[in-house]
Amino acid sequence: MNAAEAASTAIGASFNCLLCGAREASLFLDNCRDYYMGKPGVFAYYNCARCRLTQLHPVPADMSPFYEAYQVHSRKSWLHETMRGKLMSKGYYLPEEGGQPLKVLDYGCGDGWYLASMKERGHSVTGFEANQQHADNLSRQLDLPVLAETSELRAKYAAAFDVVTMHFVVEHLSDLNGTFELANAVLKPGGLFYFMVPNIRSREAKLFRRKWHGLDPPRHLQFLTDKHVRDLAKRTGFEAADVRYFSLPNGFAGSVTAVLTGGFVYPLFAGLMLPSLVACAVMPDGNLAVTLRKPTT
């Protein structure tokens, strides 16, 4: 028995692939730590024996402590806003200026900057955030609807949107099938579902391994690849996917910061952003950007 088979046996029946339901898996990466937020714990990722999805296992019973004081949800400094505008917004769904106003759902809206920028461009935007308090705060701040219940979204917005966006959200989801079906249900026929996820098979992921910024354990539960995206799209009623690859400097800057400090030190991270543009050009496969279309008939 090799090490991977031994690990597979050791996790026994407790593994359950989030995508295909298989119960067998082999170890991908153990002894992973939360370098981004520094929360205590040691985590492991496994590859599903059937579909090869890389997935966190075991998943902590209560994930809420790992989202406490989550930086992604809080308002940012002027420096961070500027870097985001210039360096980090690549890959976000931005329709051409001067086009028709669109009805857009941004599912998992972080601190709301994307909703605000789309509203400013004249689009009709709605947000979704699973945390009710965060949803209410954003809704008040931005003066637009931000929902916190998927049942409400389904009931009020059936076939309502031109575009559904999930920017670095899918990797946090435990219900992949259900969330893709929901995106399908709230889209108009012909509407687009656009999302981006970190690419676990990328060169930067292979280079930095446990210290790869995109790993972000235990908040990142699974990592879809091109093949998984196409399977999932088909199963949840979307037409063939358009999958592109791109890197962002924060991926490299965050990873190098973890290597140098064993944590996340903001001034170092910020200082590494510009040099990281070079790494992005050399290794342009750090993330996947996916566009799925709901069929018109």
Contact region for Zn ion (CB under 5 A) — 12-20, 121-129, 142-150, 200-208?
A: 12-20
What number of other Cβ atoms are within 10 A of residue 73's Cβ? 16
Position among 22, 72, 259, 270 found at the interface with Zn ion (CB under 5 A): 22
Q: Which is nearer to Zn ion, 53 or 229 (CB)?
A: 53
Quick check: 19 binds Zn ion (CB under 5 A)? yes
48 touches Zn ion by CB under 5 A: yes
> Does the protein bind Zn ion through residue 49 (CB under 5 A)?
no
By CB under 5 A, tell whether 142 contacts Zn ion. Answer: no
53 vs 102 by CB, closer to Zn ion: 53
Instruction: Please identify, among the stretches 47-55, 117-125, 142-150, 212-220, the one whose residues bind Zn ion according to the rule CB under 5 A.
Output: 47-55
- Are the beta carbons of 165 and 266 closer than 8 angstroms? no
121 CB-contact burial (10 Å; exposed 0-12 / middle 13-18 / buried 19+): middle
> In Å, what is the CA distance from 130 to each residue of 136, 151, 172, 201, 223?
11, 11, 11, 28, 20
Residue range at the interface with Zn ion (CB under 5 A); choices 33-41, 53-61, 184-192, 216-224: 53-61
Does 241 contact Zn ion by CB under 5 A? no
The Cα 219–Cα 216 span in angstroms is 6
Among residues 7, 17, 56, 256, the one that binds Zn ion under rule CB under 5 A = 17
29 binds Zn ion (CB under 5 A): no
The smaller minimum CB distance to Zn ion, of residues 54 and 250, is found at: 54
Query: Taking Cα atoms as reference points, which of 25, 67, 65, 66 lies closest to residue 46?
Result: 25
CB distance 279 to 254 below 8 Å: no
| Helix/strand/coil for 198 | strand
Lookup: tokens for 217:
């354990």
Q: Which residue number, 16 or 137, has a Cβ lying nearer to Zn ion?
A: 16
Residue ranges in contact with Zn ion by CB under 5 A: 17, 19-20, 22, 48, 50-51, 53
